Chain A
Amino acid sequence: MKAPKLNLLQTTAVKLAIKFTLIYGLILGIVISALYWVNNAHIDNKIKHQLEKSIVHFQNSFASGGRSELIKQLQIYQQADEKHIAFLQSETDVKLQGNLHAWPEDIDINLDGKVSAAWVNDEVIPFEIHEDDAYLPIAGIRLSDNSKLLLAHNIEQSRSLLEFTEFLIESMGIAILFSIFITIILGRKIINRMEIISKTAADIMAGDISQRVPLSDKNDEFDNLSMRLNNMLDRIQQLIKGVREVTDNVAHDLRSPLTRMRNQMEITLLETRTPEEYQQVLHNNIEEIGTLVTTFNSLLSIAQTEAGNHRTQWDQVNLKQLAIDLMELYTPLTESKNQTLEVINGNDSYVYGSRDLLAQSFGNLLENAIKYTPHGGNIKLHIKTSDNQVEVIVSDTGPGIPDKEKKHVLEKFVRLESSRHTSGNGLGLSLVAAVAGLHKAKLILKNNNPGLQVILQFNRDNS
């Protein structure tokens, strides 16, 4: 399957950025509207209140000083603030004082002295001081001489608020444009980084599993992802290698015995033979099959251990007890060879792992020691516990392994071509190596002077 080329708009980064920009814009819009509305209402209320207070003030002026005092006060009022709008009209509809051209048409003052129309549209009131439109809270009263007083307030603030809002909307637009710009750059960058990973994947699909994702020096999340991918590829490659080796080994180890068996049976059938001869051939074949099955099982077990298929039955394994079990199993065998088997173990020491696999590994090490140590030799199984690790040491007084060969033997653990031609099926140590790997233990070969010392170092908290 060929992966489609990445499209900028389809990238998650761009989609997310656009989404967030939209959400951000929407929220900002709502906040600004709310602010505008709340502010407006607040200012209107405040002004209306002020106007009502002023009305009371002028009423008092009229009561104390009559019309002339009122006009004087109105003049002061007008001059105090150019936002103050006042209009005083006599009972015969003559303008007495004020900064409006005329009494607004649709405003009347009832007999009870209140303004009948609460609010005036901007255009209704012709301005004397400003030709601009403005929104005017208004208050009025009919005085006792039947003249009418009207007070209004030019809300310049509302205009500036409007301008501020417009500014906000404009800057929001710029911010959105900017974020789209950033988004495109971001998307491009991500696409470029992804393409590198994508290309490596394509190369691997094409058959070259040794390819790895190149890392940048940024040490960012892409490098982190790439590193993990590379680790995964390493592991997969290792497993594939393991499978290939098992296949090769099985092929090699099955071909020869199968050929032997087939030849023996075919040749037996060439002539009529005595029942004893037939029985002998069958016995031989059963024995051959037994060896074959053992080899096959060992290879499979190593492969499965290396693949790490064994985790479900893991538990804390008491190595001290395991050492005792093994000693009880192998002591008669060592005694039959006049060897001594010595087990040194202090306290209970636990390792998290598979008892079956650990038992088999230690068993393999002991069997090797018993096999290669001459009569009268000494074999030691030592469980050594320290604060952070447990060491299982199997030492013998056999011929040991020359230093030069040690490395060779360790290298050969994986393939173990040479030791597969020695006695037994020679897979014992490679299983030990595989089990050690699975338990994150270190496998060390040392000279025992004379003999060999095999050390398995377990971390105590390898769970």
Chain B
Amino acid sequence: MHILLIEDDVQAASYLVKGLNECGHVIDHALDGDDGLHMALTSEYDVMVIDRMLPHRDGLSVIRMLRADGNTTPILILSALGEVDDRVTGLHTGGDDYLVKPYAFSELLARLEALTRRPSAQPQELKLQLADLIIDIRKQSVMRADKLIHLQPREYRLLEFLMRHQDHVVTRTMLLEHVWDFYFDPQTNVIDVQISRLRSKIDKNFGLPLLHTVRGTGYKLSESA
């Protein structure tokens, strides 16, 4: 991926650049809002990571200018402001996702990959398939190895989200946000229990395990671990 990072904290940015490079991505880094806006307008990126508080021109202003200019590149907002209102403001301005500092690098990576997922997994698709696991979006039915699997409505949504992000890691927070529309950190392993229950339905008694736990990060639906 070609990523634009607009972040004024030089050290934090250098870690991000290093980490994203090692994950195989190409990063351009801008130190302030004006430079960042200029780079965003003159080059093509797959995704942009924009800090909210920037010198010269704040992050939201950069996003507003880009969106007004017709730029549709996915944007992830980084912020030290964590209030519900702040997140809503950020997303309303034109950001696609919002991550509050301090965040885990794995969380950032998972969200960037989710933002740039392949166009083949777009919502208009009627069927999603991974190996012998097929879900029919219209009928909301799930088949594995030609056997119909019965899921609760919310389990189905969980599986659909994982299917749309197949081969990418999704974090617990992402699941909580997208499947349940909840924006808090549960103090229990509630998501893990949900996953193991789903796993028992779609993986148990079938040959190849598809739902994998990624240590310290989250989960991945994939043919290979």
Contacts and interface: CB of A to CB of B under 8 A. Distances in A.
Contacts of B197: 332, 335
B225 interface: no
B182 interface: yes
A333 B84 contact: no
A354 interface: yes
B182 A332 contact: no
A22 B185 CA distance: 69
Contacts of B190: 329-330, 332-333, 367
Task: Give the interface size class of chain A.
Answer: 35 or more
Contact of B184 (A310, A325, A359): A359
Chain B binding surface SS class: loop
Interface string B171-188: 000001000111111111
B55 interface: no
A360 interface: yes
A309 B83 CA distance: 9
A408 interface: no
B180 A310 contact: no
Contacts of A325: 180-182
Nearest to B192: A333
A332 B186 CA distance: 14
Contacts of B153: 328
B154 interface: yes
Interface string B77-110: 0000011110010000000000000101000000
Nearest to A364: B187
Contact of B188 (A289, A301, A333): A333
A425 B184 CA distance: 14
Given A310-B83, A357-B84, A370-B188, A363 B194 contact: no
Given A329-B190, A329-B194, A332-B197, A356 B183 contact: yes
A289 B154 CA distance: 31
B122 interface: no
Interface string A298-329: 00110010000110110000000000010011
Interface string A365-379: 001001100000000
A335 B152 CA distance: 14
Contact of A333 (B83, B181, B193): B193
A309 B88 CA distance: 14
B216 interface: yes
Given A328-B154, A329-B180, A363-B184, A313 B216 contact: no
A325 B154 CA distance: 9
7 contacts: A283-B216, A290-B104, A313-B88, A328-B180, A356-B183, A356-B184, A367-B187
